[in-house]
Amino acid sequence: MYRLRGVGMSYNGTPVLHDVTLEFEAPLFAAVVGPNGAGKSTLLGIMAGLRPGYAGQCLYRDREVRRWPRRAFAREVSFVPQTVRIEFPFTAEQVVLMGRTPYAGGLFESPEDWEAVERAMQLTDTVAFRHRDFRSLSGGERQLVLLASALAQQPRVLLLDEPTAFLDLRHQIAIYGLLVELSRQGLLVIAATHDLNLAAAFADRIVALRSGRVVADAAPERVVDPAVIRQVFGVEARVAPGPRGRPWILYGE
Amino acid sequence: MASRRPGSWIAAAAAALVAAAVVLPLVGPVRVDLARAWAGVSPDHEILFHARLPRVLLALLAGGTLAAAGALFQALLRDALATPYTLGVSSGASLGAVLAMSLGWEQILGFPAVWAAAFVGAATVLALVVAIASEGRRMSSFTLLLAGVTINSICLALILLLQYLAGFAQSIAIVRWLMGGIEAVSYGVLAAVACAVLPAVAFVCWRAREWNLLAVGEEWAAARGVDTSRALLAGYLAGSFVTGSITALTGPIGFVGLIVPHALRLKVGADHRLLIPCSFLAGAPFLALCDTLARTVAAPTEIPVGVITAMLGGPFFIWLLRSRRRSLWL
């Protein structure tokens, strides 16, 4: 689905991503890991069509991402930002409804729009607070609503930037569990995170970035290795067997 | 929170507008006999149909348009304090109008000069303020308001300068663009402005889905298929066009675009498909009522309506500023 060849990006002359060559095919749940400033968000932004100034080739379904018509692309690929700061009293349901924009024909919603919103809110368990002001929700509830809004786009690809950065354990597990389920249903799910344990416990594949370069790209069992962790994050760690046969990383020994 | 019956809010606001159009022309220091006015008997006929009715109609048009423009600017700039007045767009339009008049221009490209110059003034100031407040892809609310205030005072200073340089008759006319006020205009002018402004307001209502997304964020909108630069340009152009068109006639009238959308947001919610039409329908009777106050409280002296809206809106603005500082995000 996605084929990236030699993708690079600079902000004001400072390169943040170099020569990234990757391929992704649905169904898959991939995690992009790396320390702060490694270029994770930039990579996802390029793939989401939000950073058209990239160098190299970023093909989605054999078409350069920046050449896709915006509306058609939004029906294929949806993007969940890390946080959204809303100034106005939109309700959770209205935020989810905005996911239907790439399908909109006029001013009002069609029955299909409501159906898609209903399904997305049920899947994310957000129905209970659909009429509440988005700003009054907790961090975890907000993230679920953002995810619902992305699902209302009925995409084939779901890109998420640090979906659980500020969340408590219960919400972290709920969101990663849901992402696994979505990938099982056929979606390509790619999430950026700096939490290597979460990635190792849930993702099918881990792409590790350091200073804008891909330093590892493989199944969790192979990426989660003291040598790789030292190279990517610059910390000493030990790897122990974790839940469901996945590796678990122990820090600070 | 979310309105359960969107239609009822529209209907209520529309009813208020109609009631204002019918009742307010009858209010005034001089009692008007309806039967005599209808029969064309002087002076009742002149007072009702040539003084009060056109003035009320202009107040309705101006109030509705400024309130809708306020809601639009707030969405585009993601800032509840953004209005044509606080951003300096109204005084930019006034400066344009005064400049055209002082230079004795009659027409620009076939359009009435004062009108065209007001539009250009509004658009220029808006472009300037947005450019100053943009930091990369972000917009600083603080810089936005400060830039608006500063450009506002520069424009007013230039208008004052032109007023000092102008002859006596012109200098009196220029006062209108220093403090906003509603005056009776001919039905021809009223119709011309309505024909220009109402389609633009309808356009703004029609594109309300895009304003919803832009009100959340530019990337948010772009990730949902909106061509953000085109939508923003369309919004800014429509906003400065309607503000310029109204300000060319009334001068800068402040705070309508602040009070009305803010109060409505508490009732009908943030969905611009409902908020913008309701702002227009409710802003119209709001300003017409303020203007009726302006011409009756100190009768026979008439106060410019801008004085009334500023006295209502100024404290409201400060209250909003304070309450926002207490909330999470500033």
DSSP code string of chain A: -EEEEEEEEEETTEEEEEEEEEEE-SSEEEEEE-STTSSHHHHHHHHTTS-TT-EEEEEETTEEGGGS-HHHHHHHEEEE-S-----S--BHHHHHHGGGGGG--SSS--HHHHHHHHHHHHHTT-GGGTTSBGGGS-HHHHHHHHHHHHHTT--SEEEEESTTTT--HHHHHHHHHHHHHHHHTT-EEEEEES-HHHHHHH-SEEEEEETTEEEEEE-HHHH--HHHHHHHH---EEEEE-GGG-EEEEE--
- B1 contacts in A (CB within 8 Å)? 89, 91, 131-133
Is B1 within 8 Å of A133 when comparing Cβ atoms? yes
Instruction: Please give the residue that has the higher pLDDT: either B139 or A141.
Output: A141
Q: Do B224 and A99 make contact, defined as CB atoms within 8 angstroms?
A: yes
Q: List the domain range (segments joined by +) for residue A164.
A: 2-85+155-251
The predicted structure's pLDDT at residue B205? 96
| Residue B177 DSSP one-character state | G
Predicted confidence band at B217 (pLDDT cuts at 50, 70, 90)?
very high
Least confident interval from A71-80, B96-105, B138-147, B265-274? B138-147
Of B217, B223, B265, the CB nearest to A74: B223
pLDDT band (50, 70, 90) for residue B2: very low
The answer, yes or no, to whether residue B6 has pLDDT greater than 80, is no
Residue A104 is assigned to a structural domain of this protein:
no
Scan for tokens 């696994």, then name that residue.
A180
Q: Could you tell me the pLDDT band of residue B238, with boundaries at 50, 70 and 90?
A: very high
DSSP string, B283-302: HHHHHHHHHHHHHHTTTTS-
A118 part of a folded domain? no
Percentage of chain A with pLDDT > 70?
100
Smallest CA–CA distance from A89 into chain B, residue: B270
Q: What residue type is A230 in one-letter code?
A: R
The pairing of strands A188-193 and A157-161 is parallel
CB of B267 within 8 Å of any CB in chain A? Answer: no
Of A49, A99, A131, Cβ closest to residue B2: A131
CATH code for the domain in which residue A159 is found: 3.40.50.300
pLDDT for position A101: 95
Asked whether residue A65 is assigned to any structural domain, the reply reads yes
- Is A58 inside a domain boundary? yes
Write the CB contacts of B325 (distance below 8 Å, at least 6 apart in sequence).
Answer: none
**What is the distance between the alpha carbons of residues A154 and A175, in angstroms, rounded to a whole number?**
18
Domain total of chain A: 1
* Choice among B32-46, B49-63, B235-249, B314-328 with the minimum mean pLDDT: B314-328
> For the segment A48-69, what is each residue's pLDDT rounded down to a tens digit?
999 999 999 999 999 999 999 9
Nearest CA in chain A to B216: A86
ipTM of the complex: 0.92
Q: For residue B253, which of B294, B301, B215 has the smallest C-alpha distance?
A: B294
Residues B46 and A36: their CA atoms lie apart, in Å, by 74
The arithmetic mean of pLDDT across residues B80-108, rounded, is 88
* CB within 8 Å: A93 and B224: no
Q: Is B110 on the interface with A (CB under 8 A)?
A: no
Closest to A93 (Cα-Cα) out of B81, B269, B45, B28: B269
Is the residue at A232 inside a domain?
A: yes
Cross-chain residue pair B224–A102, CB shorter than 8 Å = yes
Contact residues, chain B, for A89 at CB < 8 Å = 1, 265-266, 269-270
Chain B residue nearest residue A82, CA to CA: B220
Say if A137 falls within a structural domain: no
Q: What is the pTM of this model?
A: 0.92
- What pLDDT, on a 0 to 100 scale, did the predictor assign at position B328? 43
Predicted local confidence at residue B3, as pLDDT: 45
Residue A200 lies in a domain: yes
Domains of chain B with bracketed CATH: 6-323 (1.10.3470.10)
Nearest CB partner across the interface for A98, out of B213, B227, B328:
B213
Q: Does the residue A225 lie in any domain?
A: yes
Select from B209, B226, B270 the Cβ nearest to the Cβ of A88: B270
Residue B271 near chain A (CB below 8 Å): yes
pLDDT at residue number A152? 97
Q: What is the pLDDT of residue A60?
A: 97
State the pLDDT at residue A107: 85
How confident is the model at residue A39, as a pLDDT?
A: 93
* Residues of chain A positioned with their CB less than 8 A from the CB of B225: 70-75, 101-102
What average pLDDT score do residues B275-296 get?
95
* pLDDT confidence tier of residue B138, bands split at 50, 70 and 90: low
| pLDDT (average), residues A71-92 | 94
